[in-house]
Amino acid sequence: MLVVLACVNAWLVYDLSNDAEATVNVLGVAARTRTMAHELTEFVQQVASGKRTHAATLPVLITFIDRSVGSLRSGGSAIGQLGPAELTVCRSCHADGRESRVPRAELPPWPADLPERSLRELEAAWAGLHPLLLAAGSGDGTSRAGLPRDEMNAFGTRIVRALDDLVQLLADHQTAASQRMHWWTAGLVVVNLLALAMGFFRVRKFVYRPIRALERAAKEIGAGDLATRVRIRTDDELGRLGASFNGMADSIQSATGRLRASEARFRLLVESLPDAVLIHRDGRVVFANPPAARLVGREGAEGLVGASMVEFAPAPRSEVLQAAMDMLARGVLPPVLEVQLPQPDGTHVDLEVISLGIELDGLPAILSVARNVTERKRLQEQMLQAGRLASVGTLAAGVAHDFNNLVAVIISYGDFLAAEFAEDDPRRQDIDEIRRAGKRAAALTRQLLAFSRRETGRREPLDLNAVVADVEKLLRRTLGEQVVLRTVLASGLPNVCADVGELEQVLINLGANARDAMPGGGTLALETAEVRLDDAYVRAHPYVVPGAYVRLTVRDTGSGMDPQTRERAFDPFFTTKPFGQGTGLGLAIVYGIVKRANGYVELQSEPGRGTAFEILLPVVEGEAGRSASERPPAAGLAGRGELVLVVEDDDAVRALTRRILSVHGYEVLEARDGIEALMLAERCAGPIDLLLTDVVMPGMSGKELAERFGARRAGAAVVFVSAGTEETLEQHGLVGAQARLVRKPFIADVLLGQVRQALDSREVEGRR
């Protein structure tokens, strides 16, 4: 369309230029014709009057007029045939001597639309004047005096009038041409305006809009919408610019995607770290990860940005922490520090802090990584405690042999004394207390060995109510007069499987703790009940196995415990008592006993509201019995005169053993060690029915003695006696072996039962 408008515009300009040129030519012709007409008139009048003539000029003028008149008829083409030599300057044509210039031959053609009347009039007038002029110019000046002047003047006047008409017609023609030129100019303006409008819309569509699209796309990409693209379908410079812009946007999107992926990986790494990461500058946080927020009790890491580092460590601060903060405030990087950070709940966490100098956004900053080492320190403490427990175990194992020998003598001689008094004799009650104290001493030794993992308890079905009732009297004396002991025992409780001595120790330890928590007096309640732990309880306590349990609750009205004390209550060697007044093993022993019985212990305590321990022991099937130390002597344990060789390095235990066996019908040989025992066996002529030997003795162990004795006395039975731990028995190869063993401290019926069973088994095997 623009091409068509351009062609029309060019055509209009061309036509307009032609009209303008024709108009100029017409005006020129009119001016020259009028001049020529007046000169011709003047020349004719001069010739007619005979005043003056110019023979050289007249032929040229006649030829010019003749051809001009002819050209009017032929459309003005002949007027241009005069050459330069014929159109020379006509000098002295005027009477006053003025020069008259004849128009040159470069005149344009005459208009072809002149009226026929004017042409005929001009031709007629010229036809009449032309011969006269020829006649005037053919002779000399004297012969011209006889020319018809009036007729020449008339013809000249007619020619002038005709030429004036032609000039007027030319003027009218020029006016029409001017009007036509105005119309063509208006058309040209309209066409140009239309072309400008179409060009504007074309420019708007193909230039302005693409540029605006590029601008909008650039703004959207700058705002973060990297998926924005431009649609320019042209194949010009703007189209290529749009394609280049889209390629640049693709590159930016790809690079931004990689950058965001890298940032996401970095953020995932930093946020997944268990360590707290802080970047701070001039004492203000610039960046923090979620563990850092959790460490200082904030909900989100964003809330830490801009916060002061001082806010993380409210007063009072430790000297080490205060020194580290002062160093950071001065821009000095401290070395690896271990500090304690106070918590809002009053506790503290142990931190290991490493700080490095970095550059962030072109400015120096400090990167601090804080690792919570509270658990590590706790493990270190537990390892130290384990070392202490190992030391305790080693000490307990070292003294267990001698201590159990002493306890065995105390218990057995107490039994001897008790047999001599009636049940209602007051002295019998004192003796019974001595016996119970000895049994508790033996149980305490076993607990120490079990606590240090040197020995396991002797579990059997028990009635928990019976255990509580047995220990109640001792507890009342332990608690004192200011503490009221109250028991609430449920009837018909099922049995639990535990060591009776260990359960007694649990009650004594908890009672002692309750007494210390109530220095001004209070109440200690012992309650038993049967409970069933369902799935709801297990969901709240995931470590518990659902099922039927017997619950023992020990509750006091003492001072209670704060959260820090509750958290460490069962830790070995942890105590809140002054130095030298507590071992820190009481609750640790309770926890170990309950766990060995496959039970659970829960602690509930608040400052000023007392403490409650709930012990859950699983229910077992079977009839409840008493411990071996409390069973009455079974019938048929007396001897039948069998000879027993007793080998014991402790004189008191050896004498005790001899007395028990002698009283119950056995013959006894005594030896202090294995060498002496072998010598007695050599000298004894008769049969030795049974070897009763201690396991640990100087010079020769009990097992070695039994092997050498068996080689000489093949039919003799063997019973071992030991006050050592299971570790000691394992070292001597007696754990799991088919050997009869009596544990120290023992009582008479246990010793007699093992001796009787060994002798009876020998007789059965002999009959086979």
pLDDT of residue 635: 46
Q: Mean pLDDT check: name the lowest of 73-82, 170-179, 297-306, 350-359.
A: 73-82
Q: Which two tokens stand for residue 387?
A: 């070392």
Q: Give 355 or 36, the one with higher predicted confidence.
A: 355
pLDDT score of 30: 53
Q: At residue 615, does pLDDT exceed 90?
A: yes
Q: Read off the pLDDT of each residue in 547-554 and give the average, rounded to a whole number.
A: 93
CA distance 479 to 474: 9
Percent with pLDDT over 90 in the chain = 11
Tell me, what's the pLDDT at 54?
47
Q: Mean pLDDT over residues 734-757, rounded?
A: 80
User: What was the pLDDT predicted at 62?
Assistant: 64
Report which of 691, 652, 705, 645 is spatially closest to residue 671, judged by C-alpha positions.
645
Question: Tell me, what's the pLDDT at 11?
Answer: 66
pLDDT tens readout for residues 577-611? 765 556 677 788 888 888 888 899 999 998 988 99
pLDDT at 629 (0 to 100): 40
135 has pLDDT over 50: yes
Q: Which helix (H) or strand (E) holds 55?
A: none
550-575 in b/e form (b: 16+ CB < 10 A) is bbbbbbbbbbbbeeebbebbbbbebb
Task: Give me the residue label for tokens 């008191």.
Answer: 652
- Give the residues across from 617 on adjacent strands: 550
Burial of 715 (0-12, 13-18, 19+ CB in 10 A): exposed
**H helices within 273-318, ranges in order?**
290-295
Does 715 score more than 50 pLDDT?
yes
User: Among residues of the chain, what percentage have pLDDT more than 70?
Assistant: 67
Q: Please give the structure tokens belonging to residue 97.
A: 């001597």
Chain mean pLDDT for the chain: 75
**Does the pLDDT at position 78 exceed 50?**
no
pLDDT at residue 530 in the model: 92
CB 230 within 8 A of CB 214: yes
- Adjacent-strand bridge partners of 486: 525
- Binning pLDDT at 50, 70 and 90, where does residue 172 land? confident
Q: Is the dihedral of CA 329, 334, 340, 343 positive or negative?
A: positive
> Residue 643's pLDDT is what?
93
Mean pLDDT of 284-288: 83
Tokens linked to 692:
């009763």
Per-residue confidence band for 763, with pLDDT thresholds at 50, 70 and 90? low
Q: What tens digit of pLDDT does each residue of 661-712 get? A: 998 899 999 999 999 999 998 898 888 999 999 988 888 888 899 889 888 8
Query: Residue 537 — very low, low, confident or very high, per pLDDT cuts 50/70/90?
Result: confident
> Which candidate, 717, 463, 748, places its Cα nearest to that of 634?
748
Long-range contacts of 572-580 (CB under 8 A, 24+ apart): 572/385, 572/388, 572/389, 573/385, 573/388, 577/516
pLDDT given at position 79? 39
pLDDT of residue 693: 93
Indicate the pairing of strand 284-288 with strand 337-342: unpaired
pLDDT above 70: residue 389: no
Q: What is the mean pLDDT of residues 330-338?
A: 70
Query: H helices within 204-289, ranges in order?
Result: 209-223, 237-272
Number of Cβ within a 10 Å radius of residue 464: 23
Token pair 């002797």: residue? 458
- The pLDDT, as a whole number, for residue 647 is 94
Dihedral angle over CA of 579, 582, 584, 588, nearest 10 = -170
Return the pLDDT at 675: 92
User: What pLDDT is stored for residue 526 in this prediction?
Assistant: 93
- Confidence band for 21, pLDDT divided at 50, 70 and 90: low
pLDDT by residue (tens digit) across 617-632?
A: 999 876 655 444 444 4
The closest of 472, 469, 553, 485 to 523, measured between CA atoms, is: 485
pTM for this one?
A: 0.44
Task: Identify the DSSP state of 449.
Answer: H
Per residue in 348-374, pLDDT tens? 788 888 887 788 888 888 888 888 888
The length of the chain, given as a count of residues? 768
